[in-house]
A and B are shown apart, each in its own frame.
Chain A
Amino acid sequence: MIKLVDVVKDYKGDIRALDGVSLEVTKGEFVFVVGPSGSGKSTFIKLVTKEEDPTSGDVFVAGKNLGSLPRWRVPYLRRNVGCVFQDFKLLPNKTVFENVAFGLEVIGRPKSVVQRQVPQILELVGLGEKLDRFPDELSGGEQQRVSVARAFVNRPLILVADEPTGNLDPATSVGIMRLLDRINKTGTTVVMATHDHAIVDSMRRRVLQLEDGRVVRDQSRGIYGVGT
């Protein structure tokens, strides 16, 4: 589902974020990407959504080589990759319902589909009662649920999450992780960058550990690791 071959990514000013990364994530997997800040976790996520292009090497997502994907096809790639962020990225002037509906409307889904799917997905994330609230009337955990709902309402093949629990307390984080786990069980591939030890250790899923832009550990049913 996601494949990186010898990927190097340099940012301006000779900053090497990824240094020869090769890895493969298969369909339906749940993968934690761990490592200290600046180890390349976010860069990896951005390569998958083609927010960034690799300096060298190839990135494949859903069977397509992103390097040869024309610019106008990028929106269609992103419809297959749902994104969740640490800062939720909700629109403050839209209600919960509208925020989630937005994800469907802007890809041209008809109103009937929006009317059916949005309440359904909000029920799934446990916000069926709060459709008309605005984001600032919700707790952090609830906001992140809205953001997960928006990422998943389109039933993407892949869900990438960049530190989705970074701003949440442990109890709330557990709720979000249950949600991601449930989404994964529907067959969606989930890639989550995190440095939350407790979550990684309790879930026991595949762990990819990055350090200075290299994969230093790839372990199925792993833990966060010692000393990192």
Chain B
Amino acid sequence: MRLKYFFSETIQNLRRNLLMTVAAISTVAISLLLLGGVQVLGIMVNRMTTDWEAKVEVNVFLRTDATENETAALETEVSEMSEVEEVTFVSSEEAFQEFKADYPDLATGLKPGDLPASLRIKLGDANDAEEVAARIEGAPGVDEVRFGGNIIKRLLQVNALLRTVTLAMSVILMVAAAGLIANTIRLAIYARRDEIGIMKLVGATNWFIRIPFMLEGLFAALVGAGVAVVVVLGGNWLLLSRLPEAFPFLAPVLDFSGGELFAVAGLLVGVGALVGLAGSSMALRRFLEV
């Protein structure tokens, strides 16, 4: 019986206060759209930086006179380091074949055996490159250790900055979205303070007054979040997923899994619902104290 009252009251109020409902829904939609945009941007930045960092490897060039024992010992030692994910031995012959395949013009003057054998080391975290390189430097049989040096360091700094910036932006936008939504709901409630006053005077309990307003807030927030989700997913489908056709180098950055996009959608709906409920009950508190 009461449920029926709450729902019919909610629907009736949404209809009779259509302008406020539309205002609330569009505020939610726009705020969450910005938030969603930054989330997608964040995924792209993360993608890009992870992609870059995955390419960071430490190359250990071996002396031509390194013995098999030295090489084997070094390989074991390196593969036991906790930072190291994978070690591949590249023989002199393999190095020559690779070089020939990559740069056929330059390889004409080279003969097999000109290029040194090496160990290729993949790391769990690109940040460890410098330290791992330093530890291997000077080991028996090692000629030179290369890890990209300052370029890698700079790249890592840029990556860290990009991640911090997108995180900060999404936090700021989340707070701004919450504030905007709560404020719109407060306006909608303020417009109906007389109604609340009368409800109090005829002896309605606070929860009885609160529930329809909270349902309205929830409804507006969910519809707004739905609009934002549709725009974000639709935008991705229309625009981003087609970009790699024109710019193939963007492919790794734009290759979103469905899971990531659903996580963004979930975040938008979650934030919307939470803010809708919390915003309306908080905004109500002032008017309930009669």
Residues of A within 8 A of B (CB): 49, 51, 72, 75-80, 83, 89, 91, 93, 102-103, 105-108, 110-111, 150-151, 154
Contact = CB atoms under 8 A, between A and B. Distances in A.
16 contacts: A51-B290, A75-B206, A76-B203, A78-B202, A91-B194, A91-B195, A93-B16, A102-B198, A105-B9, A106-B209, A107-B202, A107-B203, A111-B1, A111-B5, A150-B202, A154-B203
Interface string B205-222: 110110000000000000
A154 B202 CA distance: 9
B135 interface: no
Contacts, number: 56
A78 B203 contact: yes
Contact of A49 (B4, B201, B208): B201
Interface string B254-290: 0000000000000000000000000000000000001
Contact of B1 (A79, A80, A110, A154): A110
Nearest to A110: B1
Q: Which of B198, B200, B209 has the most CB of A within 10 A?
A: B198
B208 to A, nearest CB: 6
A106 B208 contact: yes
A110 B197 CA distance: 22
B202 A106 contact: yes
Q: What bracket does the count of chain B residues touching chain A fall in?
A: 20 to 34
Interface of B: 1-2, 4-5, 9, 16, 194-195, 197-206, 208-209, 290
B210 to A, nearest CB: 12
A83 B4 CA distance: 27
A164 to B, nearest CB: 14
Contact of A83 (B2, B201, B205, B208): B201
Nearest to A111: B1
A72 B205 contact: yes
A89 B16 contact: no
A51 B198 CA distance: 12
Contacts of B200: 75, 78
A4 to B, nearest CB: 20
- Greatest chain A CB density within 10 A among B195, B200, B201 is at B201
Contact of B198 (A49, A72, A75, A91): A91
B207 to A, nearest CB: 9
Given A89-B194, A91-B194, A93-B16, A108 B2 contact: yes
A102 B197 CA distance: 12
A151 B202 CA distance: 7
B202 A103 contact: yes
A108 B208 contact: yes
Contacts of A77: 203
A146 to B, nearest CB: 12
A73 B66 CA distance: 90
Nearest to A150: B202
A105 B197 CA distance: 15
Contacts of B209: 106
A91 B201 CA distance: 13
Given A51-B290, A91-B198, A102-B198, A75 B205 contact: yes
A106 B204 contact: yes
Contacts of A106: 199, 202-204, 208-209
A83 B205 CA distance: 17
Contacts of B208: 106-108
B29 to A, nearest CB: 26
Q: Which of B199, B203, B209 has the most CB of A within 10 A?
A: B203
Nearest to B198: A89
